[in-house]
Amino acid sequence: MQAWVDTNTDAQQAARRLGISRNTVRAHLRTAETQLGRDLLTTGADVYDVVHAVHISAARAA
């Protein structure tokens, strides 16, 4: 999730950063969608909420 957020929610860019395929990133996002009950593969409020949650989690960890 962090790599996806760091690359402006771009699965292709996240895949490059992680050294995996875009399809693998998308598969992980689909799993996260199920766990979070949010739609992450389209733009919208769900993505916005998750991006903020990831930023807050990262700030607390630091």
User: What pTM did the predictor assign?
Assistant: 0.86
Helix (H, G, I), strand (E, B) or coil at 41: coil
Q: What is the pLDDT along the chain (62 residues), one digit of tens a residue?
A: 999 999 999 999 999 999 999 999 999 999 999 999 999 998 889 999 999 999 999 899 88
* Residue 17: predicted pLDDT: 97
DSSP 8-state assignment for residue 38? -
pLDDT the model gives residue 34: 96
pLDDT at 3: 96
CA dihedral 21, 27, 31, 32 (to 10 degrees): 50
Q: What is the pLDDT of residue 43?
A: 81
